[in-house]
Amino acid sequence: MKRILLICCLFIGFTAAAQVKSTTDPTDKAKGLQKQLKLTNSQTAKVAAIYKESAEKFAKIKAADNGNTNKIAVDVAPLRTATIKKIKGLLTKSQAAKYDKLVKETTTAAGSGWSDGWSPASSSN
What's the pTM? 0.73
Give me the sign of the Cα torsion angle 40, 115, 57, 19.
negative
pLDDT digits (tens, 9 = 90+) for 72-81: 989 999 999 9
C-beta neighbour count of 106 within 10 angstroms: 18
DSSP states along 56-75: HHHHHHHHHTTT-HHHHHHH
Tell me which amino acid residue 105 is. E
**pLDDT band, residue 17 (cuts 50/70/90):** very low
pLDDT digits (tens, 9 = 90+) for 22-52: 447 899 999 999 999 999 999 999 999 999 9
Range in 5-9, 35-39, 69-73 the model is least confident about: 5-9
C-beta neighbour count of 83 within 10 angstroms: 25
